[in-house]
Amino acid sequence: MDELKDDLFDEHNIKKAIKKGKRKTIITVVLVSVIVFVVLNAVNFAAYSYYSQKAYKQWDAYVRLSTPNGYISETVDTRGILGGETQFKVSKNMKTKSLVLEQKQYKFGLLPSLSY
């Protein structure tokens, strides 16, 4: 009976159990963090793509209606949190070459104010 108590409260076994518990906790925290990061990144990308396409279609329609022979010639997208910002150039087709008329930018997304 005394030997069982000594084995139960042996310092070496306690340190070994503590190390095993710490290792298991660290592995669990790292795995959960990686899973959450991947899922949230995928959600952010899906929201960014959806709102980017929606805003582009609206601006493209506006440019085509407001500028004769006008079109969006170049876009530069910046990704943000649940949205982003786009800078684009409005060009006009002049038979032999294109002429850049202006450069505009707009924010889009679920929370456009949080976009960079």
- Supply the pLDDT for residue 43: 92
For the stretch 72-87, pLDDT in tens is 988 998 888 888 889 9
pLDDT, position 36:
98
Mean pLDDT of 66-71: 88
Is this structure's pTM higher than 0.85? no
Phi, psi of 5 (to 5 degrees): -65, -40
- Say how many Å lie between the first and final Cα of the chain, rounded: 69
Confidence of residue 114 (pLDDT cuts 50, 70, 90): low
User: Which one has a higher pLDDT value, 5 or 84?
Assistant: 84
* Each residue's pLDDT tens digit, 95-110: 888 888 899 988 888 8
Q: How many CA atoms lie within 13 A of 116 on its CB side?
A: 7
DSSP state of 75: E
Tell me which of 6 and 44 has the higher pLDDT: 44
For the chain, which residues make up each domain, given as ranges?
2-114
* Interior/surface letters 47-64, b for 16+ CB within 10 angstroms, e for the rest: bbeebbeebbeebeeebe
Structure confidence at residue 56 (pLDDT)? 92
Residues in the chain: 116
